[in-house]
Structure 1
């Protein structure tokens, strides 16, 4: 497969519209100089650039696998925003996030996916469960589905809690081949009956070259926040973690199938 990742556009934030307080990292709706609205994710939030790195990797892997994903852009934040914001907590967040942040195109009018309202077929459910096992994404539960219905299509959002191995990277090789126990809480797991069929298709798409190209989207500056490694060493760890996890996908598939069997 000849995959070229998107050249992520860069926009400049022109207006802070409103915080999204349901998110733990307090993202916001903001307007940019291209006159579009975005969900802005801040590098100065609790998880720092690691959540933004997970968002890029998770979102672009999902995109290449054929899922609907809002456009991801880099978003520059001017220091003037922190000076004019009356809310002290938001002011501190804005001041800590001056410079390059990440944003996702705001899907105006989208509604949160509700499994009691919208049925997802077994193939789509299996594809999403496989993706979240790969990414170790803990945030696709009934409490917080991180899926939206927009124009009658299912869109995946918010992969910032993925790749949680990178909060303690010393044992990344062991983490890469671990099953993902939290898949038992996945909102679509009961419908994911085609994991064995999805697996070879997705492994064929996610070649080493594709993974490297996606990981190369991470700005060099964001990798400098890791004092124990050189930036390119850290970039290589992300690539090798994902490649190892993909080549050992039978481990997380068996865990998901076992968890599903215990539900039904």
Structure 2
């Protein structure tokens, strides 16, 4: 039985856009009176970015890493009609229904590797996670990590699982090394990859992977021409991640090799 679930909130107020990258996320308030960083289904990469965000965030949480709470954020059809910015209004209109939001960490600051040192185990855990998820977006240029109450939090996994933007040779991608690990901002500190590897492969079971995939909303899986049914689409994510889990030695060796070259 799948006991993994996300809360659903209703967006009540658009606060301010976060003009970072092409997805135009925003800070918004919901009917539980909390602020969230709202990721829109109507943005450039559509629901695929939301699926990657959901899978990446919840797998990171299963592995014990700090990720702001993820919630489904419902956007009403009437929301945004009074928005004066035409570009934002179009985005809101295209995002009616379920979106994804992360709890807003008020006062958090962007992680800067020249200011904050990350201990070897945590660095190794995050490098392992990003190799598993094929997350290309944890570099010096864009760390996608925050310091909040003196602790490191992971945000923005929307660039993970990049194979699903075309689904080309996706079965082969599941068992390939993650060559972009060479650009990972935490790779220099990741000296405990072997022990983290042993720990994480015991925690992250195929059953837990399936539990994450099962909470993807059905309507996020619509319009994908590579699969006959939504269930086939869902099974493809499960296959990719479980197959990757059974070939983790491949990306572990690549990460270790990249680190040897780096140092």
- SS in structure 2 of the partner of residue 237 of structure 1: helix
Q: Residue 178 of structure 2 aligns with which residue?
A: 180
- SS in structure 2 of the partner of residue 83 of structure 1: coil
Question: What displacement does 1:96 show?
Answer: 0.5
- SS in structure 2 of the partner of residue 86 of structure 1: coil
Question: What displacement does 1:260 show?
Answer: 1.0
Q: Residue 190 of structure 2 aligns with which residue?
A: 192
Q: Residue 72 of structure 2 aligns with which residue?
A: 74
Q: Residue 20 of structure 2 aligns with which residue?
A: 22
Question: What displacement does 1:79 show?
Answer: 2.0
Q: Residues of 2 paired with 1:77 and 1:115: CA distance?
A: 36
Q: Residue 246 of structure 1 aligns with which residue?
A: 245
Q: Which of 198, 220, 223 matches 1:222?
A: 220
- SS in structure 2 of the partner of residue 169 of structure 1: coil
Unaligned runs of 5+ in 2: none
Render the CA deviation track for 1:135-192: whole Å, top value 9, x for unaligned: 0001100111000010111100010110001012141110001111111110000111
Q: Residue 151 of structure 2 aligns with which residue?
A: 153
Q: Residues of 2 paired with 1:19 and 1:104: CA distance?
A: 14
Unaligned runs of 5+ in 1: none
Going from structure 1 to structure 2, the CA distance change for 1:224 and 1:195 (only over 3 Å counts) comes to same
Question: What displacement does 1:20 show?
Answer: 0.3
TM (norm. structure 2) is: 0.97
Question: What displacement does 1:116 show?
Answer: 1.2
Structure 1 segments (4+ residues) deviating >6 Å:
none
Q: Are 1:84 and 2:82 counterparts?
A: yes
Q: Residues of 2 paired with 1:135 and 1:67: CA distance?
A: 14
Q: Residues of 1 paired with 2:92 and 2:37: CA distance?
A: 14
- SS in structure 1 of the partner of residue 169 of structure 2: helix
Q: Residues of 2 paired with 1:77 and 1:93: CA distance?
A: 11
Q: Residues of 2 paired with 1:261 and 1:4: CA distance?
A: 41
Q: CA RMSD in A?
A: 1.2
Q: Residues of 2 paired with 1:208 and 1:255: CA distance?
A: 23
- SS in structure 2 of the partner of residue 115 of structure 1: coil
- SS in structure 2 of the partner of residue 49 of structure 1: helix
Q: Residue 207 of structure 2 aligns with which residue?
A: 209
Render the CA deviation track for 1:193-230: whole Å, top value 9, x for unaligned: 11111112111111111110011010111112313311
Question: What displacement does 1:9 show?
Answer: 0.6
Number of residue pairs aligned between Structure 1 and Structure 2: 262
TM (norm. structure 1) is: 0.97
